[in-house]
Structure 1
Amino acid sequence: MSSHQQTHFSSRIGFIMAAAGSAVGVGNIWGFPTQAATHGGGAFLLVYLILIVLLGYPMLMAELMIGRHGQTNPADAMAKLGRSQTSRSIGRFIGFASIITATLICTFYTILSGWFVSFAAAPLAQMAGADGVADWLMQFSLSRNLIFTLIFTAMVVVVIRQGVQRGIERWSKRLMPLLLAILILGALYIMTLPGATAGLSALLIPDFNRVWDADVLMGALGQTFFSLTVGTGAMMVYGAYLNRQENIGKLTAYVTLTDTSVAFLAALMIIPAMYVAQHNGVQIFAEDGSLLNSDTLVFTVLPALFETLGGYLQYVIAIVFFLLMTIAGLTSAISIVEVPTSYLVEKTQLGRDRATYLVATVITLMSTVIVFNFEQLFGLIITTTTERAQPFIALGIAIYLGWIWHRNSLIEDIAQQQGADTSSRFWKLWPIYVKWVCPILIIAIIAQLVLG
């Protein structure tokens, strides 16, 4: 019996918090505002929201359906859909590619989230009068990056080792509501500061001339998949931990809504904060209008803004903000590290502890290589995984669910769900939509990138 059959989420809210935690993370709070600020604010937001509805929701549901049907790791779950030796082999390859992609995402994810930990610790050092330590914690350096990558990886290992219910589910239920509350309070507070309304206009008023730009479309597509962790196998793994009676249509809607709300709230806080910082004399944009330090936006703009507040308030707000950035990074990293870990537990004789340590070691070694070659590798790995690999893997998943998975078997799976009526318009249209519309949309946007 596989490990997936031995353990499931104990409650619906536990799954929603864990899946939303997987989706809500660096992709929302760091990636989304950065992408929006780089790609024209309102135009990017509009394209992103459209793609979430047209692609994010149906594709997230497809991954959960495949994972729940297979009750196993992504490679074997995809292979189970095949009807011939060839289609099973191709399915296994697509699933395995998602596991590799998840592992690669972990490499830059742990570096980024390590920065959140160091930036949360910096105000504590400042309050203690250790300015030298605080400077080291906030300045880009080899030693800082290595140490905090290791610290963050250790935090993930602690949770993953505890398994699904005692680790992933328990921590997600604690951390997600806290994250949401602080984001709302943060956005409301930023709105009270001078300069915030200019940022609000930049975010909410789209320049329709930019909507069809290849970089806007591809950035929004990459953000859609990265944000919802589509194409990494994480949702297939979580789907495998669901019982067969859960209504996946409703669960996916809750997860997508939570994820999109957090991305929007993060942008509602960070983009106005950029303009507040600019109002206070911090340089945000280059002379040509492009964003300065786009990869490190959260680490340059927000600390500069916090400093302008003065007194102990700047330290308290900085600690709270970066602590929650750490929480967001942790809930996502847990789900992504679970992908290769669960694969090892199933395919080898390794127990969960040893598998977790092995995956953590591999990720740490790869992260170390990136840290030593930061300029060349950091941006490259992000682009390769989120804007290249994830859309192609999602394309493979859509094709397999729509064209390879036998319709009678799919309908049988849908019929087992509580409250799912296979004769309803939604359940009749969804398989057809994933079969035809999703592949065409993904291909069209990838083609736009190539031709653009």
Structure 2
Amino acid sequence: MSTVKQGHFSSRIGFIMAAAGSAVGVGNIWGFPTQAATHGGGAFLLVYLILILLLGYPMLLAELMIGRHGQTNPADAMAKIANNPMAKKIGKTIGFISIITATLICTFYSILSGWFVSFALAPVAQMANQQQVSAWLMDFSLSRNLVFTLVFIAMVILVIRQGVQQGIERWSKRLMPMLLIILVAGVAYILTQPGAMQGLEVLLVPDFSRIFEADVLVGALGQTFFSLTIGTGAMMVYGAYLNQNEDLGKLTAYVTLTDTSVAFLAALMVIPAMYVAQHNGVQIFAEDGSLLNSDTLVFTVLPALFDTLGGVSQYLLAIIFFMLMTIAGLTSAISIVEVPTSYIVEKTSLGRDKATLLVGALIAVLSMVVVFNFNTLFGLMITLTTERAQPLIALGIAIFLGWVWSRNKLINTIAAQDGVKADSLFWKLWPVYVKFVCPLLIIVIIMQLFTK
């Protein structure tokens, strides 16, 4: 079958918005504050920022470089950089595992994002005096989870089936600025509330004794990979939609900076909000000092905080916040669902419309299995994909780029970029860094992961 891609990004800003949208998602706005609150606030933030610089940026650049060079799906893109049949098979396997990982991530991601849609609608029901409807929308019941998981998957499919420029790029350009505006406004409001400064101190003043704790390191690594969608194949797919002459070093820096800024802004809103809620009488911590309901932090703490405000503002803030979460979920889910979709489009005779519907149906079925076995599978799926598969796939990518890809061919790919000198210090160091330092760092943290 043909391995010609179905489209390209029409502009640099279109790619940045789409790639940043892929990176900026529930992982930033739900995951990051939750992880930071659970793992010592400032200590977690410090480790996360160091890992973004030491691992996130170089690995994101590696994925984009492989995808852009291959101009095809992750499995074939990984195989393309190998020179012998055995290496090609291994590369294809790593790429295919990333496609499977992306599909599995979609299961819990669709459930989680479905919650955001229902929580955004609940205040509307309250304002319309539909208390029973509102209670159902905010209740973690089987029926509510089934309905809104499917609603969210349908939203993603509607965007994906429109293609790269008319779907992914157009909607990313609309949704990303909206997300940033809402987030900045949320931070500005929360920081004016009584109790917020205590949360700000927890976030910004690190407890250095916690920096080398296994849970903090593992949580920060998982968050780094999950946040930047490293190891899911999404960035390889987006790299394949880029023109060959774009300067990937700069583009990757823009995407990483946007992603990290949003994660920080989200923590700047959610963690102070916890202490505002506590100031208003909402119980946040257990007697032993641990965080209550850490997995559902934004679904318990923030609605409780909004309720204490009273008046119309409690409803408006709830609608705005959960709209923000829905947008974040949508921009990321679009990129993750595109991974299996692009593979099917290339490997079969199906058009984009049918391939998208097929992938949507598969994700819907898998998500239903998780919904019906929620207590067993939801947490397991998160651990399996974000804490186990993504770091291992990233290790495979680092080894392939550093050790398998012919140095001359890699240098030629680097030199093909506009305004880039392959013999500049950055482009001399980056391949060596990915070859030696990245695998070592990933192995050290994976060892912590499997022994914790």
Residues 98 and 231 in structure 2, CA contact (< 8 A), matched pair in contact too = yes
Q: Distance in 1 between matches of 2:325 and 2:358?
A: 26
Residues 6 and 163 in structure 2, CA contact (< 8 A), matched pair in contact too = no
Q: Distance in 2 between matches of 1:20 and 1:81?
A: 26
Per the alignment, do residues 356 and 150 of structure 1 end up closer, same or farther by CA in structure 2, a change over 3 Å counting? same
Cross-structure match for 2:399: 399
Cross-structure match for 1:258: 258
Cross-structure match for 1:309: 309
Alignment of 1:42-191 (within 5 A): 42-191=42-191
Residues 218 and 445 in structure 2, CA contact (< 8 A), matched pair in contact too = yes
One-letter code of the match for 2:318? A
Alignment of 1:176-255 (within 5 A): 176-255=176-255
Cross-structure match for 2:339: 339
Residues 5 and 346 in structure 2, CA contact (< 8 A), matched pair in contact too = no
Cross-structure match for 1:286: 286
Q: Which 5+ residue runs of structure 2 have no aligned equivalent?
A: none
Per the alignment, do residues 61 and 4 of structure 1 end up closer, same or farther by CA in structure 2, a change over 3 Å counting? farther
Q: CA deviation at 1:327?
A: 0.5
Residues 123 and 318 in structure 1, CA contact (< 8 A), matched pair in contact too = yes
Residues 145 and 371 in structure 1, CA contact (< 8 A), matched pair in contact too = yes
Q: CA deviation at 1:286?
A: 1.2
Per the alignment, do residues 433 and 146 of structure 1 end up closer, same or farther by CA in structure 2, a change over 3 Å counting? same
One-letter code of the match for 2:12? R
Q: CA deviation at 1:2?
A: 4.5
Cα deviation, 1:185-214, whole Å, max 9, x if unaligned, reads: 101110000111111111111111111111
Identity of aligned residues (%): 77
Q: Distance in 2 between matches of 1:162 and 1:6?
A: 11
Residues 6 and 164 in structure 2, CA contact (< 8 A), matched pair in contact too = no
One-letter code of the match for 2:449? L
SS of match in other structure, 1:369:
helix
Q: Distance in 2 between matches of 1:277 and 1:379?
A: 26
Q: Distance in 2 between matches of 1:93 and 1:279?
A: 52
Alignment of 1:354-393 (within 5 A): 354-393=354-393
Cα deviation, 1:21-55, whole Å, max 9, x if unaligned, reads: 00000000000000001111111000000000000
SS of match in other structure, 1:244:
coil
Alignment of 1:320-335 (within 5 A): 320-335=320-335
Q: Distance in 1 between matches of 2:448 and 2:124?
A: 47
Residues 78 and 92 in structure 2, CA contact (< 8 A), matched pair in contact too = yes
Q: Distance in 1 between matches of 2:5 and 2:283?
A: 54
Q: Distance in 1 between matches of 2:12 and 2:230?
A: 20
One-letter code of the match for 2:244? R
Q: CA deviation at 1:3?
A: 6.3
One-letter code of the match for 2:171? W
Q: Distance in 1 between matches of 2:231 and 2:316?
A: 37
Cα deviation, 1:123-163, whole Å, max 9, x if unaligned, reads: 00000000110010001100000000000000001000000
Q: CA deviation at 1:448?
A: 2.1
Q: CA deviation at 1:346?
A: 0.3
Cα deviation, 1:196-246, whole Å, max 9, x if unaligned, reads: 111111111111111111111010000000000000000000000000010
Would you say how many aligned residue pairs link Structure 1 and Structure 2?
452
One-letter code of the match for 1:303? P
Q: CA deviation at 1:450?
A: 3.0
Q: CA deviation at 1:82?
A: 1.2
My pick for the range that moved more, 281-290 or 219-228, is 281-290
Q: Distance in 2 between matches of 1:88 and 1:383?
A: 29
Residues 79 and 90 in structure 1, CA contact (< 8 A), matched pair in contact too = yes
Cross-structure match for 1:440: 440
Q: TM-score, normalised by structure 1?
A: 0.99
Residues 67 and 236 in structure 2, CA contact (< 8 A), matched pair in contact too = yes
SS of match in other structure, 2:290:
coil
Per the alignment, do residues 198 and 2 of structure 1 end up closer, same or farther by CA in structure 2, a change over 3 Å counting? farther
Residues 2 and 347 in structure 2, CA contact (< 8 A), matched pair in contact too = no
Question: CA RMSD, aligned part only?
Answer: 0.9
Q: CA deviation at 1:5?
A: 3.8
SS of match in other structure, 2:430:
helix
One-letter code of the match for 2:215? D
SS of match in other structure, 2:289:
coil
Residues 2 and 72 in structure 1, CA contact (< 8 A), matched pair in contact too = no
Residues 244 and 417 in structure 1, CA contact (< 8 A), matched pair in contact too = yes
Cross-structure match for 1:295: 295
One-letter code of the match for 2:158? V
Residues 23 and 259 in structure 1, CA contact (< 8 A), matched pair in contact too = yes
SS of match in other structure, 1:54:
helix
Q: Which 5+ residue runs of structure 1 have no aligned equivalent?
A: none
Q: Distance in 2 between matches of 1:7 and 1:389?
A: 29
Residues 4 and 241 in structure 1, CA contact (< 8 A), matched pair in contact too = no
Cross-structure match for 1:18: 18
Q: CA deviation at 1:181?
A: 1.1
Residues 25 and 328 in structure 2, CA contact (< 8 A), matched pair in contact too = yes
Q: Distance in 1 between matches of 2:287 and 2:6?
A: 58
Q: Distance in 1 between matches of 2:84 and 2:416?
A: 26
